[in-house]
Amino acid sequence: MCGVSLLPAELFLILAAIGGYLLGSIPFGLVLVKLAGLGDIRTVGSGNIGATNVLRTGRKDLALATLVLDSGKAGIAALIFTFAVSPTAGLIAGGAAFLGHCFPVWLGFKGGKGVATFLGVLLAVLWPVGLLVCATWLGMALVFRISSLSALTASAVAPVLALAFMRPDVALLALFLAGLLWWRHKENIARLVRGEEPRIGAKKA
């Protein structure tokens, strides 16, 4: 026979990638702010569609809902394909959801920075590490009150924690996603170096 035929397992992995990406690309922050009659979140603060920028609208409820939904969409994608196909498919779906959030096709591939989706993936594929990473974010946020610094620190420890739990597959995914997350935060890093990064809840000009 001519050509290369895909095995069913390979087809499922492709479906995991596509399904995870499409689910992750739902811009909940944008949708919630518009439904609340507050306009386009991309015109507020940093222009980001994530929970931190939604908080700059003054609506803590919308920011919390955005955080939960952005985290949940990645976690749901990972869990569905983990139980329906395999743990590998779950990792692919979760990683693809992260990419969908950061680069959504519906918004010209200009999305969020991936913090909530990063946490959602970890909570779904290896919940002890997910909880420890969340605790790291929370601890840093309580001490320094800088969302980006909290996210950068939490993402940096995630691969190390995954290795400590003897999950090199999760560590590899966490390392890849953390690298993207740091790249998405390059402007924040520059402001951190200059001491100009805004505090949590501050309305960025």
Model confidence pLDDT, tens digit, residues 143-165:
999 999 999 999 999 999 999 99
pLDDT at 2 over 70: no
Residue 186 backbone dihedrals phi, psi, to 5 degrees = -60, -35
Does residue 58 carry a pLDDT above 60?
Answer: yes
By the 10 Å C-beta count (0-12 exposed, 13-18 middle, 19+ buried), 5 is classed as exposed
Residue written as token pair 């950068």: 152
Interacting residues of 136 by C-beta distance below 8 A, sequence separation 6+: 150, 153, 154, 157
73-91 per-position pLDDT tens digit: 999 999 999 999 999 999 9
Q: Would you state the pLDDT for residue 3?
A: 45
CA distance 51 to 29: 7
pTM above 0.85, yes or no: yes
